[in-house]
Amino acid sequence: MPSSSERVHEFSTTYPTTTAALPRAREELARWLRDLGVPDDVNDELLVVASELLSNAISASTDPAQELAVAASVDGDCVTLEVTNPPASEFDVVDHWDYDDPLRPGGRGLIIVESLVDDLAIAPPSRDRSLSVRCQRRFAHHR
């Protein structure tokens, strides 16, 4: 595991806004985390988080020619992951979680993400309607 005195390690790339990009994105992120010594259980949970965030960004995309951005960093015992929708995305801002209908399709991605990370922040949509979701997960404790 990287010690807190080591420098920050960064991952940054873009992916097409198609579901076909999900396996490649997960594989590349998993390899990067594994190479940095992130524990397998944290790596597995972060891949679920990445899948949910990427799926949301793909669903919100209105132009298949645009790409979504994925950035991650490891600093000491903390992984930060950020997914940014392409500009001109269409999404509804959720101000509360809807737990009332357990059979409702979709709409649980951020609930899943929130349960697997230590911190979750959703940046307000920018002028170009891109939106970033940033989360952090520490190695040191288990949920």
Strand pairing category for 67-75 and 119-122: unpaired
* Gap between the Cα atoms of 121 and 103, Å rounded: 27
List the one residue out of 143, 40, 58 whose CA is nearest residue 109: 58
Confidence of residue 30 (pLDDT cuts 50, 70, 90): very high
Q: Parse the chain into domains and list their residue ranges.
A: 9-138
Give the DSSP H/E element, type plus range, for residue 25: helix 22-35
> For the whole model, what pTM was predicted?
0.82
Q: What is the pLDDT of residue 93?
A: 56
User: At residue 122, does pLDDT exceed 70?
Assistant: yes
The pLDDT mean for the chain works out to 83
CATH classification (class only), 9-138: alpha beta
Of residues 7 and 8, more confidently modeled: 8
Q: What is the pLDDT of residue 130?
A: 81
User: At residue 100, does pLDDT exceed 80?
Assistant: no
**Burial of 7 (C-beta count, 10 Å sphere; 0-12/13-18/19+):** exposed
Q: pLDDT by residue (tens digit) across 86-99?
A: 887 776 655 555 55
